[in-house]
Structure 1
């Protein structure tokens, strides 16, 4: 489970090169774009918003989580770029980087789920939901998410790696250790994915139903609702194409280890799928800012005005006659 580690085996060829070819460019792209995008988003949320809203508080927390995670990616690039995949740094740093991956992943899932709940109350129960959407309550919930995910991700610190390597499980795992890993996967699958996934999906389905069934008074309102539905679909696509596939493949991967604990039992397609789906899940720090743009009208306005002000600073081109 530790970064979907895969043992070299005859049927799969040089899996190390495959991971290098997939991980290195993905991590570089996510680091560059994720860093720039999330620094800009944090600037927008903390400096340009004149008044905090429940939605902006959640988005700011998600951006901070994504920014902290992308700052760990250079270490991964350095490790996988080395053809020998030799870990030159202290083991505690490797353990921390593994912890950071899952900490960010589940913080992202919970913050995205909280955003869907806030949107649900805003659209489906605009009056009754006011007390649940106060800035103070949302700030408390965000702090609770940081603490809950931080504490529940602690077991990931106990996973052993190969000697002098990182993000690689030992070739042979003891029966007790594989049972612990399997249990960790099931707990994180239920608490970290299945429950948030159904809440997230259910909220947006109810929002779309409300938008479709409510009467529009004029053409502009109808167009606005169509755009809102299109944005919701975009948000759901970003969420569903990332985390669900990764969790399904990860569970299949770990199930192949159980009960013998021999990583060579994992088939080549499953191993490579684990690498690919992890990369997709790790792209979310780049995709979340797009989600903000789709989901929050105020954020779109701030981005547009910022870009417009930047281009105002450039001198106009001189027309030649």
Structure 2
């Protein structure tokens, strides 16, 4: 085994922001060359320094940083949350997609909801890899290619869901607040083209993740990390700009649009009186769900990559990873907030499995809107 001495003049959480040069470790005891970059002040994530040994690039971590990777939260709580999301989200989204695709009329809202179910299913499909990764103690045994694909699919489909939820909120806003103005262009064909644009956008925003190396072996640990810990130079440069743009363009802006849309819908429904109390509750539920699941992880990610405060020496890692796991719970919540809350949808499911009479139409929570008459469906 190689002897590799490191002396770090700071510990995780230190407020000393002065740059430093670590003890000379350009050679180990066997004379092999080890190259590392100078450590920059005030890292915004778990510090990871590159070291090339026997033509293999390793990541070097302070012992305090390694303890976060092996903590009970990381290797037990986080994969348990992902397992719960997988077990609940796979059947609920799969059934919802099947009912929407085979048992409902292809309306504007139906197109958006089908694509949302697909995005949630694709996100859920990569969770088994992350579950094994964390249960194995942050060890990625599936290779660099699959690490890149899993990382891209994870973030891509998560933010694709955000964009589709934004489309749904705007669709409902137009249906409630501007029903006559939007009638001419709120068509299934327009919804299909909008969804196609969303998927292209999701593919584009995750392309940078597939172009950078995502997995690195951890020195003296016999494990390979996947995306969770990256070289400090890339974290301060490439990923700093990438995630700042990602958060701004596909979270903060969509969140502002959703808040405006749903607040406008709530205002319109409240002005209509108690007749639409159920729709008001559903709209409020959708808004609360979005804020509860997506805001914590994105706020922490924004701080993680943009804060120059000296106290953030990787101390947000566990908090961010937990909030990221919680954000995937939205994939479990979507079917119940958007589909199963509807009595018509539940009747469709019952009629499918128990051969009961089919209902003539299907409304989801997004279609339970103020009508000109009680029999008219405004979609």
| Coarse TM-score class (shorter-chain normalised) | 0.7 to 0.9
Which one has more relative contact order, counting CA pairs under 8 Å at least 6 apart? 1
Matched, 1:47 2:102: yes
Q: 1:89 aligns with which of 142, 148, 155?
A: 142
Cα deviations by residue, 1:63-115 (Å, 9 ceiling, x for unpaired): 011112211111111111113x3222221000100000111111100100000
Could you tell me whether the CA contact under 8 Å between 1:42 and 1:60 is conserved in 2?
Answer: yes
Distance in structure 2 (CA, Å) of the matches to 1:122 and 1:196 = 19
Q: Determine whether 1:31 maps to 2:82.
A: no
Report the counterpart of residue 368 of structure 2 in structure 1. Answer: none
Does the 8 Å CA contact 1:55/1:118 hold for their aligned counterparts?
yes
1:283 & 1:235 partners in 2: Cα distance? Answer: 14
- Given the alignment, which residue of 204, 221, 226 partners 1:166? 226
1:316 paired residue number: none
Instruction: Return the TM-score normalized by structure 2.
Output: 0.71
State the alpha-carbon separation in 1 of the partners of residues 268 and 303 from structure 2.
37
- Which of 169, 172, 190 is the equivalent residue of 1:137? 190
Contact 1:8-1:16 within 8 A present in 2 as well: no
Q: CA deviation at 1:189?
A: 1.2
1:198 to 256, 267, 284: 256
Partner of 1:184: 242
| Cα shift at 1:293 | 3.0
Deviation string for 1:274-297 (max 9, x for gaps)? 0211011111211110121377x5
Matched positions, count: 291
Whole-angstrom CA distance in 2 between matches of 1:167 and 1:96: 11
Structure 1: runs of 5 or more not aligned: 217-221, 314-321
Query: Counterparts of 2:263 and 2:106 in 1: how far apart (Å)?
Result: 27
Return the alpha-carbon distance in structure 1 between the equivalents of residues 247 and 141 of structure 2: 32
RMSD: 2.5
Larger Rg: 2
Specify the alignment match of 1:19 in structure 2: 74
8 Å contact from structure 2 (residues 266, 284) kept in 1: no
Q: Could you tell me which runs of 5 or more consecutive residues in structure 2 were left unpaired when the two chains were aligned.
A: 1-44, 48-60, 218-223, 357-379
Q: Partners in 1 of 2:327 and 2:208 — Cα distance?
A: 20
Matches within 5 A, 1:1-321: 9-10=63-64, 13-17=67-71, 18-49=73-104, 51-83=105-137, 85-157=138-210, 158=212, 160-163=214-217, 164-170=224-230, 172-174=231-233, 178-214=236-272, 216=273, 222-223=274-275, 225-255=276-306, 265-267=313-315, 270-293=316-339, 297=342, 300-307=343-350, 310=353
How far, CA to CA, are the matches of 2:240 and 2:126 in structure 1?
A: 26
Shift of residue 159, structure 1, vs aligned partner:
5.0
| Structure showing the higher helix proportion among its residues | 1
Contact 2:96 2:335 in 1 (8 A): yes
Contact 2:144/2:214 (8 A) holds in 1 = no
